[in-house]
Amino acid sequence: MNERIHPVLKSMIPIVGGIAKTFGKSCEVVLHDITDPYHSIVAIENSHVTGRELGGAMSQANIEAIASGGFTRDQINYTKKTADGRILKSSTIVIRDENQKPIGCLCINFDLSDFVMVRNSINALCHTDEPEEMKEDKGYQGASINEVLCNLVNSVLEASGKPVAYMTKEDKVDIVKVLDQKGAFLIKGAIDYVAKVLCVSRYTVYNYLDEVRVGE
């Protein structure tokens, strides 16, 4: 594959390994050839972060951007989540040829999940019982039902102190229990949304609800 790619991209393959070795196993580095977006990955290190492989495709969003001519700007220091709930800090840098035409991109995806757990532990350690302003209800004023559900789920997840990827079944049952106590499942579509966030099926969420409601 390397013999067929643009010389500029080929010259960047050692950079992929260098960045990955510098920042360790939590840092996935991917080099894409956008002339073949469905088989774009020409170099990758620490592929366990997202589970992609050499010869794999770009994201559908980037494929659509290339098709529409919109794949022209760097995206630096943004966050996203993997399918299993890992939190990534990412950057996508567009690579151009001698005529400034985009030919590829270098993507860096750093798994922050371990650091989020440490941060939450530090926040818990530093917490005091000083009175705090009631901010939650203010945030919901004028919000749509979907926003209320999203805010409620996010607040419960943050309070748990664990990224979803690190949660056991018991952790997820606890999340569902707290959401149920807060009335989240009275909102239309809550079962499907919570299932997606927790990376389980909607039937699993129903089972969790049955489990936490026993004896109530």
Q: Could you report the per-residue pLDDT of 18-41, keeping only the tens digit for each?
A: 999 999 999 999 999 999 999 999
> Does one domain contain both 72 and 158?
no
Please state, for a pLDDT cut of 70, what percent of the chain lies above it: 89
Per-residue confidence band for 158, with pLDDT thresholds at 50, 70 and 90:
confident
d(CA 180, CA 216): 12
Of the three residues 111, 143, 158, the one that is the final residue of a domain is 111
* 11 and 100 belong to one structural domain: yes
More confident residue, 81 or 40: 40
Indicate the residue among 111, 146, 175 that finishes a domain.
Answer: 111
Q: Which domain holds residue 195?
A: 116-213
Average pLDDT value over all residues in the chain = 85
The structural domain count of the chain equals 2
| DSSP letter (8 states) at residue 35 | T
Closest by Cα among 76, 152, 159 to 116: 159
For residues 134 and 172, state if they share a domain: yes
From CA 85, how far away is CA 88, in angstroms rounded? 9
**Residues 187, 86 within the same domain:** no
Q: Which of 61, 58, 51, 62 is nearest to 165 (CA)?
A: 51
Is residue 135 predicted with pLDDT exceeding 50?
no
Instruction: Clarify whether residues 107 and 120 are in a common domain.
Output: no
CA distances from 86 to 45, 48, 117, 136, 178 (A): 17, 12, 11, 26, 22
The pLDDT confidence band at residue 99, using thresholds 50, 70 and 90, is very high
CATH number, domain of 34, equals: 3.30.450.20
Is 41 in the same domain as 60?
yes
Claim to verify: residue 181 and residue 202 sit in the same structural domain:
yes
Same domain, 107 and 17: yes
pLDDT classification of 145: cutoffs 50, 70, 90: low
What is the 8-class DSSP label of residue 147?
A: H
pLDDT at 142 > cutoff 70: no
User: pTM score, two decimals?
Assistant: 0.62
Indicate the residue among 58, 77, 111 that finishes a domain: 111
The β-bridge partners of 93 are 106
Summarised one tens digit per residue, pLDDT across range 163-194 is: 888 889 999 999 999 998 888 888 888 999 99
196: which residues sit within 8 A by CB, 6+ positions away? none
125: left (phi over 0), alpha (psi -120 to 50) or beta: alpha
- How far CA 20 is from CA of 108, 119, 130, in Å, comes to 9, 23, 43
Examine the domain organization and report whether 98 and 10 are in the same domain. yes
Intra-chain end-to-end CA distance of the chain, in Å: 61
User: What one-character DSSP code corresponds to residue 184?
Assistant: G
User: Does residue 106 sit in the same domain as residue 148?
Assistant: no
List C-alpha distances in Å: 156 to 102, 159, 162. Answer: 42, 5, 10
